[in-house]
Amino acid sequence: MNRLSTAFYEAVTPVVAGKIPSRSRLVATRYYYGDGTVCRSDSVVMTRFGGGYFDASGRAHYELADYQGNITTVIDSDGNIVSHTGFYPYGQPWRRPGERQWLYGGKEWLGADGRDEYDFHARRQYPHLAMFTTPDPKSESFYNCSPYIYCNGDPINAIDKDGKLTIFINGMHFGDGGSEEYWNGVDKLVMRLNKDYHALYIDGSLNGKNGLPDNLSADMRYKAGKQYGEKYIKTIISSLDSKEFIRIITHSMGAAFAKGFIDALYHYLYTLPLLERVQIQNRLKVEIDLAPFQPKEQSASCIPTYVFQKKFDWLANTGKMEGAIYDPRYTEDIDAKAFNKGYETMKIFFLIYCVIRQHGIVNFYSTIEEYYRDHPESKEE
């Protein structure tokens, strides 16, 4: 029968620092079978199933996880707590897990002989030092970086391989650019509809209010996006596998930044072999521009680009973006007559209303939900 195994040894001669013991003996071997059975030497330890396991006597146990997927509690079939623990930020359990093997992030804990590591499949992680103990399997692509660092040493702006990727590029801000706070829950909605929670947040406004007046130029934002892409696109692409997709969501000023970023992406793709290039292109799913600022001064990229906008948005609804998809289900044409009447009546208060209630990010919840109802293929892997 096909199986994986982990062997545990102990030294039987004095251990000298920096030297392998001259003699050691096999203590035990743990086997993993395709049906979920886990054996230690010749004895069955457990048989795993989704959300728990059967112990050696056949009694069911259920694993309870927190919102991060960390398994904190195990209960038996009668509801009795068998074990419970919490975790420090990098995964170190509060107390010794005993016989429990799957803990932080649902990953297997390797505690034999004081190793205290997690098996993250691609690498082993040592929570005491908040680092990996084995090299990055793709480290040969980045000779200038240590093979033990995470995300090229830039975990804020880069990602590690796991799941789909949604890139959120924000517009004008007053301090929350490049973060989830800017999106006011819209990012969580998109990721919930995508059934995935892996995101990259990018400031597309050239540092918000501190970037004025340069960031008022669509061309400047495009160039900044291209520079960002040239710097990070190799790291982002190399972190994907054959089943991962990229989706890009922008707001306001972020749309022009995204066009430069995507241009840099395609320039990089044309350095790759044809087959690899086509495979990656097929995984670029969609760009959605929410209330794009200065739409007439930019053109849609090679990715299918949808524009969502409101009819009284005088900041964004000033013309159409060349090559973009303006679907009437998600895009409202400006009502110039009604806008002028409102402005004549309320002046500055009407303009403020339009910015907050028409251009603001929170106005697109229902539109995004409608888009995903109409495009169920956008949620497929």
Three-state helix/strand/coil letters over 206-243 = CCHHHHCCHHHCHHHHHHHHHHHHHHHHHHHHHCCCCC
Q: What is the DSSP letter of 268?
A: H
CA distance 89 to 66: 14
pLDDT tens readout for residues 276-307: 888 888 888 899 999 999 999 999 988 999 99
Alpha carbon 267 to its chain centroid, in Å, reads 23
What was the pLDDT predicted at 54? Answer: 87
Mean pLDDT calculated for residue range 192-200:
78
Mean pLDDT of the 204-213 span: 94
In the chain, what is the straight-line distance between the N-terminal and C-terminal CA atoms, in Å?
31
Q: Which residues, in sequence order, are CB contacts of 133 under 8 Å at separation 6+? A: 117, 123, 124, 125, 126, 148
* Closest C-alpha among 6, 259, 182, 202 to residue 110: 6
| pLDDT for residue 357 | 66
What pLDDT, in 10s, does the model give residues 129-178? 777 877 776 566 555 567 776 555 554 444 444 446 789 999 999 988 99
Burial group, residue 300, by CB count within 10 angstroms (0-12, 13-18, 19+): buried
The residue ranking higher by pLDDT, 50 or 218, is 218
Structure token digits, residue 136: 């990055």
Q: How many helices (H) and strands (E) does the chain have?
A: 7, 17
Identity of the residue numbered 338: A
Rounded to a whole number of angstroms, the CA Rg of the chain reads 26
Report the C-alpha gap between 135 and 105 in whole angstroms: 20
Q: What are phi and psi of 286, to 5 degrees?
A: -165, 150
The CA distance from 148 to 176, in Å, is: 31
Asked whether the beta carbons of 211 and 217 are under 8 A apart, the reply is no
* pLDDT for the residue 1: 46
| Coil/strand/helix, residue 213 | coil
Domains, in order of start, for the chain: 3-134 (no CATH), 151-379 (3.40.50)
Does 346 score more than 80 pLDDT? no
pLDDT exceeds 80 at position 229: yes
Which position has the token pair 């003699």? 23
3-state secondary structure of 316: coil
Residue scoring higher pLDDT (280 or 31)? 280
pTM of this prediction exceeds 0.85: no
Closest CA to 313 of 295, 286, 287: 295
Interatomic CA distance for residues 173 and 253, integer angstroms: 10
| For the chain, percent of residues with pLDDT exceeding 70 | 71
Does 2 score more than 50 pLDDT? no
> Distance of alpha carbon 100 from its chain centroid, rounded?
28
| pLDDT surpassing 60 at residue 367 | yes
Q: Rounded CA gap, 117 and 149, in Å?
A: 16
- pLDDT for residue 325: 94
pLDDT at 140: 60
**Mean per-residue pLDDT of the chain:** 79
Neighbours of 11 (CB within 10 A): 14
